[in-house]
Structure 1
Amino acid sequence: MTTPAPGLRERKKQRTRQTLSDVAVRLFLERGYDKVSVAEVAAAAEVSKPTLFRYFPAKEDLVLHRFADHEDEAARVVAGRGDGEAPVEALRRHFLAGLRRRDPVTGLCDHPDVLAYQELLYGTPSLVARLYGYRERSELALAKALGGPAVEARLAAGQIVAVQRILAEENVRRIRDGEAADAVEADAVRAAEAGFGQLVAGLPGRFGGGGGRSAPM
């Protein structure tokens, strides 16, 4: 089923949210996360502080907004996969495509703006702590998309999200250590194939190697 396009009001909200996040990240990168107040972000974006809080309940959310579109990405990949394609295969294909296009979510991106953002994110303890909530929501959304018994789906989702996280973190580590994305790519692809291969071998067939959609249980 096609998701209806957002209306004018929702598009305006999305633009405002994006502007607030962009202004905040720019200020945080220039001066440091802890040295910029929410009031200063609001002033720079020419909105009131209460207005800013209507869009972002916490200061950390201004930075993590860049993850917002990715929170349910794995769930969307599983829900939109082709008939006869196993969930893990769809996710493997999607991750490999992300490596090829240097999607920052895969960690295989050495664009200066991305590296600066990662330094801000992973160098700020409160932002790292806030990431746990993002990962939990991503896992729950994926478990729902996988379907089946709740505990079984949650276990599978947890393993899948963990593999994706570890693969991305390893790519980030190598690039932050000074390697170029092009030099890391071959190893990143091999690691991804190995990681998703372990999921195929270890998960129940309906998730990893069952070859398509199972009937609802």
Structure 2
Amino acid sequence: MRNLILTSIFVISTSISFAQHTAQDFLSGDEIVWYGLDFSKAKFIGAFDQGAGAAPVTGYELKTKYMPAWNMLIVNESAKYDLKRTFKKTSVFNDLSIVEKTNSKIDDDKIMSFNDYKFDDADKTINSIINGYAVGEKKQGIGVVFIVESFNKGQQQGTVYVTIFDIKTKKVLIKEKIIGKAGGIGIRNYWAKSIFNVMVQVEKTFYKQWKKNNGI
């Protein structure tokens, strides 16, 4: 009898430890892990300049200066870029280390273009990106990352895949393609506005749709 009880406890414990998170867990839970903005497969369309005759920025500058700046802006100005409000959570744990490493490996000679761009196969691209993430500070839980498809200067908009995933299994739970209008002074603020507008749409529209789609 004692062995049977111990075996039952082991089986239950093992089942819990290997349990996968679901979209319902994300929608009804209180905590997420924020991974940041992933530009690993993004393109910057058009001339990225600050006007007034200034020379356009280079791919190297976008990679080494602006990508880190956009990521840090969301963390440092959390009252404006309010992830808790956006995703209806009481706790947000920031772990930018994975995305920082991923963005640092981008070939800056290939990220700028004058042609329209979108992922050939969004599902395949996003799954590949998530599966490539190393283990961060949190070994399990629910991660949220904005996978940027493009910043398009001519259309004055950023296109982002808002992606929610199980950190342990790397299974994508929700992904939503959202376009945010850009605006503001200076390259950092101009494109940060597009991210802000994506967050507003999640808060006001898409979160409700996700709940409805998942029977919540």
Is the TM value for this pair above 0.5?
no
| Larger relative strand fraction | 2
Q: Is the helix fraction higher in 1 or 2?
A: 1
